[in-house]
Chain A
């Protein structure tokens, strides 16, 4: 069974006078271990789709199964639980807590998972080592470079061993060299077995993925494998 299974997904925003169809009948399957880039211009519905995939929002109609769970039936509380355990977010603006060192930032999801302190520490450390920041644990975000901040954010996304890593324009605030480094890191994580869903509007960033889903006007325009998927590993 697919890890992610979207069926006939509609998301309609009621703006009073008119109804905006942000998502207009999406069918999408993503299997475990895939590396998918979701592309589209602004207004194509990719942010809405990402919010749905990340369980930050529920569809107006249609069904969404994540790891076998019918997400559309869950309430706020349960969605929070799913986000905590199944989803690892990476944002364009990093979204780290200010005045909080790297270790504590990475620890955050584990606090809400209710893990004891010692175990949290240990897992947060391991996660930071995985992204190559074993020597920066005590640094606060403002003492780190943009690339390092994004690595901390990735460590935070990984710390709870989520089913999917959901990255929303992860290189949008980075220069090209650092972008490359970050994309290499995602590639490594994908090779390590993680399912990665990347939302971007930059074609060259999308090239790092194996599969590219193109959205327009709330519909899937195309869904194809990328050059990288064709190339032998």
Chain B
């Protein structure tokens, strides 16, 4: 029998039981709406994070020591070093490196008079830091080359530290202690606020050598190097150069893995994307359960429908409906029900996503990618087929004599 005829029939049957049809497909509607809303919200989130990270500059490169997989075989004894000497070698030998600074991160107490404070981060850096990290001073100046070369006892602090130590309105020139290191405040960093749960203003910058002295001789063995390449076009090239040079300097032979890690913006983005991907995957799993429940609802109602319409099936068979005609009729009814639910859910999910986008400031307009639409429809159709096949099969196997006699 003609497919179209069955479709018309299915719509008629569903329309005849409007309320029941809607309630039946509610599970599918909610499931699909949830998928679409979450996808559109996650897409917005991705967009925002991407934009924020791009503010740092796409030419930003970070080199970190890589201690490797601690559970891996033979990794225990490996001593990993990444020193400022490596950094200096990079500056001299790798072309297209514009700026480079070591970052030695440690913790310690800062003191001013009898006020004490322990910022989460004390960093030993050089004069390139503000440009590399896109973080400039608000008042005074940053550490200069001369400061570093002459081993001057100077320090630059964040806003939060100014408040915590009660340095007042004129913090410049005040003498504070960073651990055992006495230093003059020469600058205050511009306010940066919070990022990923960290207060970027609760920070202290000291000359790199001072940080090494402060945190112990071995501290300088595992620093982080942060640099800026000349342009986005050479980022990959610079990375290759760094990898080559460091493997040489660290005597890493051909088949051994790197004992350092070069991170470029793209990889940060990739990391973020993979986190968001995981979020989506978890939510999708929850939604999958919703669709499963929805599907069972459809199967339940289809079974009721088959029983209710036993006589109708008998009549159809008596006037010449073959098994596959009846099967197709009920299957199409189930699929129509679920796909209709999918369509309504799609619209509802889109509106939900758009609503959320409207409510949040700075959020990009809701965007539902085509694959999500295809997925929603594909999934709801699949649910219809999967959960419709059993009731439809039951209907198609009914004996016409029994079916006609059914009360």
Say yes or no: is A150 at the interface (Cβ < 8 Å to chain B): no
B404 near A95 with CB under 8 A, answer yes
Expressed in whole angstroms, the Cα–Cα distance for A51 and B318 within the complex equals 10
Known: A80-B317, A95-B311, A97-B315. A51 touches B401 (CB 8 A): yes
Interface membership of A113, Cβ < 8 A: yes
A81:B404 contact, CB within 8 angstroms: no
Binds B, one of A104-112, A170-178, A193-201, A217-225: A104-112
B2 within 8 A of A: yes
Specify which chain A residues have a CB less than 8 angstroms from the CB of B1 in the assembled complex: 111-112, 114
Chain B residues within an 8 Å CB radius of A64: none
A56-B400, A56-B401 are contacts. A112–B315 as well, Cβ < 8 Å? no
- What is the total number of residues of chain A having a CB less than 8 Å from a CB of chain B? 27
A51, A56, A97: the one contacting B312 at CB < 8 Å is A97
Question: A163 contacts the other chain (Cβ, under 8 Å)?
Answer: no
In the complex, chain B residues whose CB is within 8 Å of the CB of A111: 1-2, 5
- Cβ-defined contact, A95 with B314, below 8 A: yes
Interface presence of A85 (CB below 8 A): yes
Q: Which of B290-315 contact A (CB under 8 A)?
A: 311-312, 314-315
Given A76-B323, A77-B323, A80-B321, the answer on whether A114 and B316 have CB atoms closer than 8 Å is no
Interface size class of B (residues with CB under 8 A): 20 to 34
Whether A91 sits at the interface, judged by CB under 8 Å, is: yes
Q: Which of B5, B316, B320 contacts A81 (CB 8 A)?
A: B320
B318 x A77 contact (CB < 8 A)? no
The chain B residue with its CB closest to the CB of A114 is: B1
Question: Does B322 interact with chain A (Cβ within 8 Å)?
Answer: yes
Mark each residue of chain A from 90 to 125: 1 if its CB lies under 8 Å from any CB of chain B, else 0. Answer: 010001111110000000110111100000000000
Contact with A along B356-400 (1 / 0, CB 8 A): 000000000000000000000000000000000000000000001
Residues of B within 8 A of A95 (CB): 311, 314-315, 318, 404
Q: How far is the CA of A98 from the CA of B1 in the complex (A)?
A: 21
Tell me if B16 is interfacial: C-beta within 8 Å of chain A: yes
Among all A-B residue pairs, the 6 with the closest Cβ atoms: A84-B320, A112-B320, A109-B319, A80-B322, A95-B315, A56-B400
A114 contact set on B, CB distance < 8 A: 1-2
Closest to A51 in B: B401
CB distance from B114 to the nearest CB of A (A): 89
Contacts of B311 in A (CB 8 A): 95
Which chain A residue has the least Cβ–Cβ distance from B317?
Answer: A80
Cβ-defined contact, B401 with A83, below 8 A: no
Taken residue by residue from 1 to 20, chain B's Cβ proximity to chain A (1 for < 8 Å, 0 otherwise) reads as: 11001000000100010000
